[in-house]
Amino acid sequence: MNLFQKLLWRSENRWQLIGAGLGTAMGLVLILGAFQLYLDVNRLLNKDEGADPRYVQINKRVSLLNTIGGASTFSEEDIEEILKEPFVQSLGVLTANNFRVSASSENLGFYTELFFEAVPDAFLDVRESRFQWQEGDRELPILLSRDYLALYNFGFAPSQGLPQLTPGSIQRVGFEITIANGQRTAKFQGRIVGFSDRYNSILVPQPFMDWANAHFGDALSPKEPSRLILEVDNPLASDFLDFVAENNYELSTGRLVGGQIQTMVGFLTLLLLFIGGLIFLLSLLIFLLNFRLLVVQSRDDIGLLLQIGYRQRQIYTFLNRRLQYWFANIGIGTALTLIAAHWLLGLSARAQGLEIPLMIHPLVWILGALLSAGFVYLNYWSIRQNVVRTDLQ
């Protein structure tokens, strides 16, 4: 082995190998990091039933005519006509409050007017045992739109100098909920018990909404619903979209912020994959050229080794072991960098209310292993071919 070191490795350009190694590590970090980012965002936006695209919400398009005429709600006839359509599997009514609602907190020092909605349990995307209410309960459980929390953390809180809240921290905070009809009031201890990805709303249990509307509702307010939730076969089907357009309805899947984020992250992922792949391929090319140059420069030494009894296999095996040593260091550095970066990103995301796992996804390690195996094999094949070609010459 010492003889190999002296004869063959004296022509090695260490700076070229170091540069190629750093480039390879950078390319791997970008490729694997982009893939991990895609998996994290995909899991974040589609981790529960709220991401089910079959559930869509419809409302009548608001215009001057139907606002004056009070025709922005759905009548019983409208609902019956919708249920007759073959693409509608089930229908639920979003019940709005017909009374005034406010929330306040002495600890946080705020007061705000609110609105509530309620949907049948079968159409909820959150299975939370605490989301129940019966007459006489003083605690009111609330489901908050996850997009509302994101808008607060990234829009309202920074502009007002308020602290950002995680899903865990906001669930530990209690609010005083006051409902009124101008003549009498009732107070409840509100508490957020979950987050909805399907509804851009503030949801309360249906029994509470029915009780509150009956006891505090405005008799002059319309009792018909203004929004419906539909379970359809395919929300992108032409017959369904034509039906929505013909009836002048507006359509919403409930994922306003999430859809925009997913599009942006998808574009960013493709960009990082392209840049990382380009750097990785250039580094691979440098490694191939560097070891080929090493073999060419050591042609006389290789011939001498063959003359004194060494075989071709011993020579390219030695060079391949040196390659494996270099790439092992590259792999360890890449893995440590990826783990540390993802850990810090995960902690930062959790502080902003985004539940991102701190561990690297197994598919990322599988992709890294495949890229590494391909890298080592191509270099091994190139070294072997160059050693054999040198012997033939």
Predicted local distance difference test score (pLDDT) of residue 34: 84
What's the DSSP call for residue 154? I
E-strand spans in 224-375?
227-232, 249-252
Predicted local distance difference test score (pLDDT) of residue 25: 83
**DSSP states along 255-293:** -HHHHHHHHHHHHHHHHHHHHHHHHHHHHHHHHHHHHHH
Q: Using one digit for the tens of pLDDT, what is the confidence trace for 103-150? A: 988 776 678 899 999 999 988 888 888 899 999 899 999 999 888 888
Nearest to 22 by CA among 296, 337, 249, 298: 337
pLDDT at 9 over 60: no
pLDDT at 236 over 80: no
Predicted local distance difference test score (pLDDT) of residue 257: 47
Residue with tokens 């082995």: 1
Predicted local distance difference test score (pLDDT) of residue 49: 43
Contacts of 271 (CB under 8 A, 6+ apart): none
Predicted local distance difference test score (pLDDT) of residue 211: 94
pLDDT band with cut points at 50, 70 and 90 for residue 382:
confident
Euclidean distance between the first and the last CA atom of the chain, given in angstroms as a whole number: 25
Nearest to 330 by CA among 356, 294, 381, 368: 368
Q: Using one digit for the tens of pLDDT, what is the confidence trace for 29-82? A: 888 888 888 888 777 666 544 455 678 889 888 766 555 555 678 888 999 999
Greatest extent of the chain over all pairs of C-alpha atoms, in Å: 108
Asked if 360 and 339 touch (Cβ cutoff 8 Å), the reply is yes
Predicted local distance difference test score (pLDDT) of residue 13: 58
Q: Using one digit for the tens of pLDDT, what is the confidence trace for 314-352? A: 777 777 787 788 788 888 988 999 999 889 888 877 766
Residue 250 pairs in a beta bridge with 59
- Out of 24-33, 211-220, 302-311, pick the least confident: 302-311
pLDDT at 259 over 60: no
Query: In the predicted model, what is the mean pLDDT of residues 16-35?
Result: 81
pLDDT at 254 over 70: no
pLDDT band with cut points at 50, 70 and 90 for residue 169:
confident
pLDDT band with cut points at 50, 70 and 90 for residue 282:
confident
Mean per-residue pLDDT over the chain, rounded: 80
Note the pTM of the prediction, 2 decimals: 0.57
- Which tokens is 89 given? 């599997």
- Out of 21-35, 48-62, 87-101, pick the least confident: 48-62
Predicted local distance difference test score (pLDDT) of residue 151: 82
- Which tokens is 202 given? 């503030």
- Which tokens is 237 given? 């089907």
Predicted local distance difference test score (pLDDT) of residue 22: 81
Asked if 55 and 252 touch (Cβ cutoff 8 Å), the reply is no
pLDDT at 2 over 80: no
pLDDT at 390 over 70: no
Angle at the Cα of 111 (from 105 to 112), degrees rounded to 5? 125
Query: In the predicted model, what is the mean pLDDT of residues 158-165?
Result: 75
Predicted local distance difference test score (pLDDT) of residue 228: 92
Residue 175 pairs in a beta bridge with 190
Predicted local distance difference test score (pLDDT) of residue 106: 77
